[in-house]
Structure 1
Amino acid sequence: MDLRKEFLPPKARKIEKKLEIHGDVRIDNYYWMNNRENPEVIDYLDKENEYFEKMTAHTKELQQKLFEEMKGRIKEDDESVPYKLNGYWYLTRFETGKDYPVYSRKKENLNVPEEILFDVNEMAEGYDYYRLGGLNISPDNKLCAFAVDTISRRKYTIRIKDLETGKFYSEEIKNTTGSSTWANDNKTLYYTKKDEQTLRSYQIYRHILGTDPAEDVLVFQEDDDTFNTYVYKSKSRKYIIIGSGSTLTMEYRILEADNPEGEFRVFQPRIKGLEYSISHFEDHFYVVTNKDGAANFKLMRTPVSQTTMENWVDVIPHRKDYLLEDIDIFRDFLVVSERNNGLNKIRIIRWDNSEEYYLPFNNETYTAYTSINPAFNTKTLRYTYNSLTTPTSVIDFDMETKEKTVLKEQEVMGGNFNKNNYSSERLWATAEDGTKIPVTMVFRKGILREGKNPLLQYAYGSYGSTIDPYFSSVRLSLLDRGFIYAIAHIRGGEYLGRNWYEDGKLYNKMNTFTDYIDVSKHLIQENYTSPEHLYAMGGSAGGLLMGAVVNIAPQLYNGVIAAVPFVDVVTTMLDDSIPLTTGEYDEWGNPNNKGYYEYMKSYSPYDNVKAQEYPNMLITTGLHDSQVQYWEPAKWIAKLRELKTDNNVLLLHTNMDAGHGGASGRFEALKEVAEEYAFLLDLEGIEL
């Protein structure tokens, strides 16, 4: 039975809307969808969901099998590795059959009874969506500020709990980012408010415990709408720090945490293009920065009393082949997180310069990063390691003796997993301009390169965000059914350093899309797969990637999954009332500038849908998405239905209760993955 003939897809009403700028007119027939209060919009999304349900009904058994399989690999009664902060051990655990975590702590000794801070399972009862975040313990260990989002718009309400009595303070601080930080007096709380409409983080307030939030004092407002602001405390606990930044420019303000009613002072005034981050240690601040043209960043330091850039001196100079990503400061050691040739490096340096070395990692593809290290006076570094074939390990490393202790390796339950059954490799595809594009892959051992393997190619490629080769127990459901999984490290990320990012943004954005296509061609040419068995996947800005790729080279793919895709680029970037828009000009360009407008229009997926054949496609979104508004994928699918010339499957699934991150519970989220995997397996004719 051909479901495409039995069930007719919804047809969206067309209402012509002329959009004119720079003397150019675009016609948007589905602009009317830009209103979640319009009953016709909700009706259209409901009809698309009904069509999705009918078209995928035959895969429900497969979806359930995949869900049970993926859930079965998760250790349901799992527990995090405890970390110690200010006299308490903190841990997070899950209980069998429950969706949400339980946060607890133990005083000084891990053998004493636990004190439950929050059981999120109880708190989430009655909500379709529930996210607890921003847990922040006061210096005297008696209070905890926390934040809750029940809509999935990332607009958090901050509350305060008395950990001695278990009672909650009455005040509710609404419309925040969720994060907060205590001053050292245990009663002053700093937090960040969002603009009601754009959701831009733009105000820092000071709240006094037990008072009405309406009386809170505004201590900083970021008036530049291309910047966001936030507040935190230095690891040394000496300073409250307000950060304010855009894509390419940073500025910080500092205040002694013992003086909460004092005036913040600017660390280094903003200069367009100057990026820096600060860490406090004894009499100095350490500054990771791109000052003096250090594209891959360098480490400098400056006295606490003289923080402007003329006082900064080099500690680790700039290097062309090493990207300096972050630092961790300890009493006797400086730990530097770097990236060289795409791979994570962790470098350990004694402050007295008597010793310096790198942690040894021998795999060709892996992910390693420093973990939670709140203590100053310790010789132990905690870091995390995994690879495409190796589950995540949390490791304590003695920086003096160089001994490592594996505290925990992620358990893959069910008894069938053996990491020796899988192989990973890194290869290099050649882009159309001659650039070598790295690709990391994982697959079950024994596959043949005969061009018939189903292969899922994933990428992101924006904001300098790097998709490292990480282990996923969920992904095993594809690998065990013969799929190859490939991550394309395309330009727009920072896998090969800062220039890799610069070469995939603004007027270089097309490189991101053509890199992805050239990787696909390489995988086909090398007989890993073929267009009949190649699948593409990306989300958010990676969904933009999917939209561009299917317009340019639809013939390369049998199926595509675009999750919460950013596809209506021009219209969104011209609307500064939409969340994120103004802060994104440094990434995509400002289309109020004619040059950027024309370039953006040349690749914007929605603007470039045309009468041609498209692959089978599954598009997902959330009604309350604060990052990519639901109407972008809704308009896109309506236009695709109108213009595409093929008879391939085209589906839109809108989660009417969630936003950008999907479902909030750990098992509910797996159901969404099961839907996506079932879509791929169904196209591939794999029924088990």
Structure 2
Amino acid sequence: MKTHNIPPRAEPRPASSEHHGIVNEDEYAWLRDKGYPTVDDPEILDYLNQENAWFEAHMEPQQPLIDTLFQEMRGRIKEADESVPQKDGDWLYWVSFEEGAEYRKHWRKAADGSGEAALIFDEPAMAEGKEYFSLGAMSVSPDGRLLAYAVDDNGSERYTARVRDLETGADLPDAIPGTLSDLVWTADGSGFLYCLANEQWRTDNARLHRLGDDPKEDIELFHESDEGFRVSVGETSSRRFLVIASGDHETSEVRLIPADDVTAEPILVRPRETGVEYDVEEREGLLYILTNDAHVNFRLVTAPLDDPSRWTELIAGSDEFYLTGIEAFRDFYVVEGRRAGLDQIDIRYYDDPARIEPVAFPEEAYVAGLGNNPEFDQTVLRIGYNSMVTPSTVFDYDTAERRLETLKVQEIPSGYDASLYTTERLSITARDGTEVPVSILYRKDRPQGGPLHLYGYGAYGIAIPPGFSTTRLSLVDRGFAFAIAHIRGGDDLGRNWYLTGKREHRMNAFTDFIDCAKGLIDQGYTQKGRISISGGSAGGKLMGAVINMEPDLFGAVVAHVPFVDVLATMLDASLPLTPGEWPEWGNPLTDKAAFELIRSYSPYDNVRAQEYPPMLVTAGLNDPRVTYWEPAKWVARLRARKTDDNVLLLKTNMGAGHGGKSGRWESLKETAEEYAFILWQMGMVEAA
């Protein structure tokens, strides 16, 4: 490949906008294709291709390391593998990977043991010849005869739903493009519910498709008028009711429809009230509702189906226990939550409210949650489990015997010795006195003060669990410690942990991350400049914010599909996610204080003339969540303003979206590239 000595330079072109009397300059606004979501402007494509060539030229010398990393990562994955079968009605279902395959095959067999295993969906065959492939929703009809599925083959997350006859293997004529939801069958299997994405990639509807009908004639069961709300469909565990839910990041509203009478008037559980969220389960005409109406950490109430607004408290809200989920079965219900940031699963009984049976796990720090438990009459629960040192484990929990049975432990073909590693849960004091937890993994023979990789997210109330990863061993085995900063903005320590990192409190997420890095230095785990950091999407925004604030703290930065042009995006209500994001970040269109706050931290708006650490930035041309021009504009401005000669690379996947390349090996190659970049920039290539 030809060596490129001069980095690509996007031409700055004067452009500005004024809001609340403040003028904002945006000299790279032209990188947004006016025809988006179609991107065919030759000048824009040429710039992105130049950046890709710059990326390839600089990573080419690291190709031997990338290949080494990829092979060792691949060596930790059992290529020919399958999941533990799970019973649903008359069938056992499971998935498998074949040797070398990028994608899974989906199987089933009669639960009574008769007959042979049948291949019901072949992802490798469906993906053949495609640069990108994603199987979205997938649902078998109640009688087991039909399979509804949805596929995206370009990363735009606009799925086409189809129906397959499982007896013949042939697809029916039904095809619905542009879906973005689960596919939920009616009780008689004559049709299914789905949500259609509108031109702004928003699901503002729930629709009923009857098999054989023209999708243009499908019945709209519900339409959402608030542009900030998104509609989804589902079903209760009893499968007696289909669920139409609508909401944003802080408010929800749920309607129930009898699965055997889907055109009946929907039952509104409770009208929306700003700031009140709730989820609904049902058993024998009684609703079980998880809600934050009276306590920030949620409580559980019941209500009769014929009077769903009459709520009676069953489990009170608690400062210590954060209720995160409920699943109702025939003889008991399961409550999931977190206590002091640690996952809890409790079995509770309808006939004895005082009877609480917590599931006990074998380690002090772990990640655990209910797996797929499709049957209402369930006496054995499928549970997933792992920790930073324990590979993914599948348990069955016998509720009668109160006993865990190990069904499958993730196999690592190249070998893994857990005794070589140690994991800790640290507490680091942030600048406002808040104790922020950090989970850390390292080899026991690692020298004190060595390199450390710090990961963070901190948004949307999404907790980052301290779970197991085979890929991160490629850093840890080379002397890195791998740390996760459980910063505010996630809900790791409860709902307040989220609330104190969102909107007007957003700066807490950034300062928490910086303070965690400094705390790890102070406690001797690493040194200034020896910390590599990474994050994606909102975590990419975190990366952009912290390097604007304290760039010399970090030795290398990887920002995946980073949400960095926050102000411009939140000012543009025509973009897919913007109205629904205002409860999370604030609405700068109408609120001057929100405008000024976002402007104060938005990574793109705060790039300035200073030295920045080496950076690798990724983007997806078809990404509907973080549009490609955000990272492109950010990199262009960084190139123009930064005062150092450190490497700055932008890689745009021209045929993928928010999640990068599809397929387990193609995805793994991108992780190998990321780690090679980190090792290279941290001066550890020779040692590697």
TM-score range (shorter-chain normalised) is over 0.9
Change (3 A) 1:110 1:40: farther
| SS at 1:172 equivalent | strand
Equivalent in the alignment of 1:9? 7
Q: Which amino acid aligns with 1:615?
A: P
Q: 2:181 touches 2:233 (CA, 8 Å); kept in 1?
A: no
Equivalent residues in 2 for 1:68-467 (5 A)?
A: 68-109=71-112, 112-196=115-199, 198-292=200-294, 294-308=295-309, 311-353=310-352, 355-361=355-361, 363-415=363-415, 417-449=416-448, 451=449, 453-467=450-464
Q: 2:556 touches 2:682 (CA, 8 Å); kept in 1?
A: no
In the TM superposition, residue 378 of structure 1 has moved relative to its aligned partner by 2.5
Q: Which amino acid aligns with 2:413?
A: M
Equivalent in the alignment of 1:472? 469
Q: Cα deviation per residue 1:63-89 (whole Å; 9 max; x = unaligned)? A: 011111111111111101111112110
Q: Which amino acid aligns with 2:406?
A: V
The answer to whether structure 1 residue 568 and structure 2 residue 565 are counterparts is yes
Alpha-carbon separation, structure 2, partners of 1:187 and 1:380: 31
In the TM superposition, residue 254 of structure 1 has moved relative to its aligned partner by 1.2
Mean CA deviation greater in 371-380 or 346-355:
346-355
Q: Cα deviation per residue 1:552-595 (whole Å; 9 max; x = unaligned)? A: 01010011100000000000001111121110010000001111
Q: 1:364 touches 1:426 (CA, 8 Å); kept in 2?
A: no
**540, 551, 559: which is aligned to 2:548?**
551
Q: Which amino acid aligns with 1:295?
A: V
Alpha-carbon separation, structure 1, partners of 2:229 and 2:339: 30
**626, 630, 634: which is aligned to 1:628?**
626
In the TM superposition, residue 335 of structure 1 has moved relative to its aligned partner by 1.3
Q: 2:396 touches 2:404 (CA, 8 Å); kept in 1?
A: yes
Q: Which amino acid aligns with 1:577?
A: S
Change (3 A) 1:682 1:455: same
Mean CA deviation greater in 104-113 or 440-449:
104-113
Mean CA deviation greater in 553-562 or 528-537:
528-537
In the TM superposition, residue 138 of structure 1 has moved relative to its aligned partner by 0.8
Equivalent in the alignment of 1:637? 635
Q: 1:249 touches 1:272 (CA, 8 Å); kept in 2?
A: yes
Q: Which runs of 5+ in 2 are unaligned?
A: 34-38
Q: Which amino acid aligns with 2:489?
A: G
Mean CA deviation greater in 436-445 or 676-685:
676-685
Alpha-carbon separation, structure 2, partners of 1:562 and 1:344: 29
Equivalent in the alignment of 1:682? 680
Change (3 A) 1:547 1:665: same
Q: Cα deviation per residue 1:473-519 (whole Å; 9 max; x = unaligned)? A: 11111111111100000000001101100100010000000000000
Change (3 A) 1:638 1:379: same
Alpha-carbon separation, structure 1, partners of 2:647 and 2:273: 50
Alpha-carbon separation, structure 1, partners of 2:121 and 2:205: 28
| SS at 2:221 equivalent | strand
Alpha-carbon separation, structure 1, partners of 2:166 and 2:605: 54
Change (3 A) 1:42 1:314: same
In the TM superposition, residue 110 of structure 1 has moved relative to its aligned partner by 5.0
Q: Which amino acid aligns with 1:377?
A: D
Runs of 4+ deviating beyond 6 Å:
none
Q: 2:14 touches 2:25 (CA, 8 Å); kept in 1?
A: yes
Alpha-carbon separation, structure 1, partners of 2:248 and 2:239: 26
Residue correspondences, number:
679
In the TM superposition, residue 217 of structure 1 has moved relative to its aligned partner by 1.4
Alpha-carbon separation, structure 2, partners of 1:404 and 1:600: 48
**42, 54, 78: which is aligned to 1:39?**
42
TM-score, normalised to structure 2's length? 0.97
In the TM superposition, residue 332 of structure 1 has moved relative to its aligned partner by 2.1
Q: 2:181 touches 2:232 (CA, 8 Å); kept in 1?
A: no
| SS at 1:658 equivalent | coil
Change (3 A) 1:111 1:430: farther
Equivalent in the alignment of 2:36? none
What root-mean-square deviation, in Å, do the aligned CA atoms of Structure 1 and Structure 2 show?
1.4
| SS at 2:517 equivalent | helix
The answer to whether structure 1 residue 647 and structure 2 residue 649 are counterparts is no
| SS at 1:193 equivalent | coil
Alpha-carbon separation, structure 2, partners of 1:442 and 1:306: 51
Q: Which amino acid aligns with 1:418?
A: D
Equivalent residues in 2 for 1:505-544 (5 A)?
A: 505-544=502-541
Q: Which amino acid aligns with 1:328?
A: E
Q: 1:365 touches 1:440 (CA, 8 Å); kept in 2?
A: no
In the TM superposition, residue 361 of structure 1 has moved relative to its aligned partner by 3.0
Q: Which amino acid aligns with 1:390?
A: T
Q: 1:203 touches 1:220 (CA, 8 Å); kept in 2?
A: yes
Alpha-carbon separation, structure 2, partners of 1:264 and 1:404: 40
In the TM superposition, residue 253 of structure 1 has moved relative to its aligned partner by 1.1
Equivalent in the alignment of 2:661? 663
| SS at 1:464 equivalent | coil
**571, 577, 580: which is aligned to 2:574?**
577
| SS at 1:598 equivalent | helix
Alpha-carbon separation, structure 2, partners of 1:110 and 1:571: 59
Q: Which amino acid aligns with 1:149?
A: D
Alpha-carbon separation, structure 2, partners of 1:441 and 1:291: 35
Q: Cα deviation per residue 1:259-316 (whole Å; 9 max; x = unaligned)? A: 1222223121111111110001112010000122x100000000111101xx110111
Alpha-carbon separation, structure 1, partners of 2:165 and 2:29: 49
In the TM superposition, residue 362 of structure 1 has moved relative to its aligned partner by 5.1
Q: Which amino acid aligns with 1:543?
A: G
Q: 2:237 touches 2:327 (CA, 8 Å); kept in 1?
A: no
Percent identity among equivalent residues? 46
Q: 1:7 touches 1:54 (CA, 8 Å); kept in 2?
A: no
Equivalent in the alignment of 1:48? 51
Q: 1:331 touches 1:377 (CA, 8 Å); kept in 2?
A: yes
Alpha-carbon separation, structure 2, partners of 1:331 and 1:179: 24
Mean CA deviation greater in 320-329 or 352-361:
352-361
| SS at 2:174 equivalent | coil
Alpha-carbon separation, structure 1, partners of 2:540 and 2:112: 47
TM-score, normalised to structure 1's length? 0.97
Alpha-carbon separation, structure 2, partners of 1:69 and 1:247: 40
The answer to whether structure 1 residue 61 and structure 2 residue 64 are counterparts is yes
In the TM superposition, residue 328 of structure 1 has moved relative to its aligned partner by 1.9
